[in-house]
Amino acid sequence: MTKIALITGATSGIGNATALELASKGYRIIATGRRQERLQELQQKLGAEQVYPLMFDVRERETVQQAIDSLPEAWRNVEVLVNNAGNAHGLSPIQDGSLDDWDAMIDINVKGLLYVTKAVLPLLQKAKKAHIVNVGSIAGKEVYPNGNVYCASKHAVDALSKAMRLDLVQQGIKVSEVNPGLVETEFSEVRFKGDSARAATVYQGYEPLQAQDIAELIGFIVTRPAHVNLAEVLVLPTAQASSTIVHKQ
C-alpha cells in the first residue's frame, strides 16, 4: 500500500515543495492549508489519486478535528505528519509589538501544531510505521533582536518536538525536527504584511536556501531505515552563521 503523508501549509513555500518532493518519492499526499485554490492546483498537477486537498485553519481546533475525521477510509492510513504551517507576523521590539501579531504567531505556530498533532495521532498510532516531522527554525535555537514572539513560538516547537519524542518513543513513532535558517518563500511577505520590497531585501546579497532544499531534507529524513531517526537538523545557507550573522556581498 502506498504511504500517506499529511502536510500542513502545503499551499506555498516549504510545505508545497515538500508535497511535490514526497509525491515524487511515491507518497500519497493530504495537502492542507487555507487557500483552497492552491490545494486544488496541487491536486490538478499530481492527480486525485495522489493528492487529497483538505482545507482548514490550524487555529480552529474543532475544524481541525472535523477535517481529520472527514478523511475517507482510503486516506486514513497516515504514516507521516509534517507540521509545517506557520509564519512570522511583524518584526518589532517587544515594547512596540502588536497583540494581534502575537496572538497569530502563538495560535498558528504553537497551538495550531498541537491541534493538528492531537487530531492526527490516532491515525499515526494505527499505522505500521509513523513519523512526525516538525518544522522549527534557527529562531527556535537563538533569539534575535525584534524576533521576540516569533522566536518564542519556535522555541516552543523545539520543546514540543523533544517532548513528543520522549512521549512517543514507546510507541515507535519517530519525531524529527527540521530547523532552517533563511529560506526564500512567502515568509517575509507575510511577516512584513505584503511589503514585497522590504521582503525582498531579506534575501538580497547572498544565496538563501530555497524551499526545495528543505523539501529534499524532509524527503531524506522520512526515507531513512526503520532504526534511524534524524532527530534534529539545523540547515543554513552557506552565507549564514547565526540568526544575525549573514555574509552579504
Active centre residues (catalytic): 150
59 lines the binding site for ligand NDP (CB under 6 A): yes
34 touches, from ligand NDP, ligand 8X3, none (C-beta below 5 to 8 Å by class): ligand NDP
Name the nearest CA neighbour of 100 among 34, 136, 149, 152. Answer: 149
Q: Which residue is nearest to ligand NDP (CB)?
A: 13
Query: Could you tell me where the beta strands, DSSP code E, fall in the chain?
Result: 4-7, 28-33, 51-55, 78-83, 130-135, 173-180, 183-184, 209-210, 232-235
Q: Does 91 bind ligand NDP (CB under 6 A)?
A: no
For residue 207, the minimal CB distance to ligand 8X3 (Å) is 15
* Residue 236 interacts with ligand 8X3 (CB under 6 A): yes or no: no
243 binds, among ligand 8X3, ligand NDP, none (CB under 5 to 8 A by kind): ligand 8X3
Which of ligand 8X3, ligand NDP, none has residue 126 at its interface (CB below 5 to 8 Å by kind)? Answer: none
Pick from 32, 134, 148, 243 the residue near ligand 8X3 by CB under 6 A.
243
CA distance 127 to 166: 19
**Alpha-carbon dihedral angle through residues 247, 198, 13, 228, given to the nearest 10 degrees:** 30
- Phi-psi region for residue 81, left (φ > 0), alpha (ψ -120 to 50) or beta? beta
Closest residue by beta carbon to ligand 8X3: 137
Candidates 5, 11, 81, 240; binder of ligand NDP (CB under 6 A) is 11
Q: Are the beta carbons of 131 and 79 closer than 8 angstroms?
A: yes
For residues 236 and 50, what is the distance between their CA atoms, to the nearest angstrom? 31
DSSP-derived letter for residue 74 is: G
Residue 243 interacting with ligand NDP (CB under 6 A): no
165-194 positions binding ligand NDP, by CB under 6 A: 180, 182-183, 185-187, 190
Which of 51, 108, 138, 149: binder of ligand 8X3 (CB under 6 A)? 138
Q: Which of 8, 87, 137, 176 binds ligand 8X3 (CB under 6 A)?
A: 137
- Provide the mask over 153-182, with x wherever binding to ligand 8X3 is found by CB under 6 A and - wherever it is not: -----------------------------x
Torsion of CA 185, 189, 191, 194, to 10 degrees: -160
Is the alpha carbon torsion for 174, 175, 179, 184 positive or negative? positive
3-state secondary structure of 97: coil
Note the residues at the interface with ligand NDP (CB under 6 A).
8-9, 11-15, 33-35, 57-59, 84-87, 108, 112, 135, 137, 180, 182-183, 185-187, 190, 211
Note the residues at the interface with ligand 8X3 (CB under 6 A).
137-139, 147, 182, 243
